[in-house]
Amino acid sequence: MAVSLNLYCNEAPNEIVVSCEAYDDDDDDNESDHCSVDYDDDLLINLFETEVYQMLESKVVSSRFHHNIVTARKDAIQWMLKVHCFYRFRPETAYLSISYMDRFLSARPFPQGKGWPMQLLSVSCLSLAAKMEETAVPFLLDLQIMKPRFLFKPKTVQRMEVLVMQTLNWRLRIITPFDFVYCFIARISSCFNDSHQPNRLCHLFSLASDLIIDICIAIDSLDYPPSAIAAAVVLWITNLSVDEQNLGHLHNGVNQVINTGMVKKIYKVIEGKRSSLKLMPQSPTCVLEAALLCKEIAKYC
């Protein structure tokens, strides 16, 4: 892919500036006063079945990203999360952007010794994830904030977006831990009579979202089924151990079994890394706060 060495944009400001009102939240009337989630068994079965095919596809990838790109990956994730928080994107957007980047790095060699390729990949993955999940997406120039090392022309980012999509075989809609976590929290809460406490549910959703993103930084999430990540997170935030009984609460009534071994591995990662993992800040501008998550819950009320 030919990329121009002139990495600075020359567009006129009046052609690229977007009104702040475009990002104002006007969906307050969609919130529900009662946060109860009712997932039927058919939906959960479909999630498990789709997850199986998704994991089989990931195993086709012959290699994972190399050790010398780990630091660059970490820096890229930190930058994406800062932009993610600034624009108050959904937590799913953060997960998808990291997943796109990891899948891309796993599927093809990446230039070493230069900073701009990883920055370009970061912008492209975040842009694609936002287009998949958000209702209001900033222009490509407006997306490049929080002191990036390089600034790319929109056409350059768009070409990279095409390369990313081609590399991912155009599979951008994937199953994530968030697809499972809403269901698991609802089921585990109902077992302990917490399902009619909306504040409690919203708090758990917020904790789970923060922790899922933290885990993505600490592990190669491509190696773990989304259901296992969600199960480990839900058991952790509800102070439950990983055993057959507690896992049974999560998929009760469904003829599917969560990978216990994977759940235990992720649970141990949380136990060992929790003190060093940095949670997203709890602030009015943070997308992972409970108030915004309640809007997601309200869809199922």
Q: Which range has the worst mean pLDDT, 3-12, 41-50, 102-111?
A: 3-12
Asked if 289 and 282 touch (Cβ cutoff 8 Å), the reply is yes
Residue 185 tokens, joined = 């929290």
* First-to-last C-alpha distance (Å) of the chain: 47
Angle in degrees, CA 290, 295, 296, rounded to 5: 95
Tokens found for residue 14: 């009046």
pLDDT at 203 over 50: yes
Supply the mean pLDDT for the chain.
75
Q: Is the pLDDT of residue 221 over 70?
A: yes
Question: Any residues with CB less than 8 A from the CB of 9 and at least 6 apart, and which?
Answer: 16, 141, 151, 152, 153, 154
Cα angle 50, 40, 257; round to 5:
50
Q: Return the structure tokens found at 161.
A: 């977006």
Per DSSP, 281 falls in state P
Q: CB atoms < 10 A from the CB of 15, how many?
A: 8
Alpha-carbon span 190 to 208, nearest angstrom: 17
Lowest-pLDDT range of 64-73, 239-248, 273-282:
273-282
Q: What whole-number distance in Å separates Cα of residue 48 and Cα of residue 258? A: 9
pLDDT band, very low/low/confident/very high, at 56 (cuts 50, 70, 90)? low
Q: SS3 of 4, please?
A: coil
Tell me the percentage of the chain whose pLDDT exceeds 70. Answer: 68
- Residue 198, amino acid: P
For the cut 90, the answer to whether the pLDDT of residue 80 exceeds it is: yes
Q: Are 100 and 107 in contact (CB under 8 A)?
A: no
Contact 194, 201 (CB under 8 A): yes
pLDDT at residue 292 tops 60: no
- In our burial notation (b when 16+ CB lie closer than 10 A, e otherwise), range 47-67 reads bbeebeebbeebeeeeeebee
> pLDDT for 6-17, tens place per residue?
333 333 333 333
Work out whether the CA dihedral 212, 218, 220, 223 comes out positive or negative: negative
Which sign does the torsion angle of CA 133, 137, 138, 140 carry? positive
pLDDT for residue 231 is more than 50: yes
pLDDT exceeds 60 at position 298: no
Better pLDDT: 73 or 120 = 120
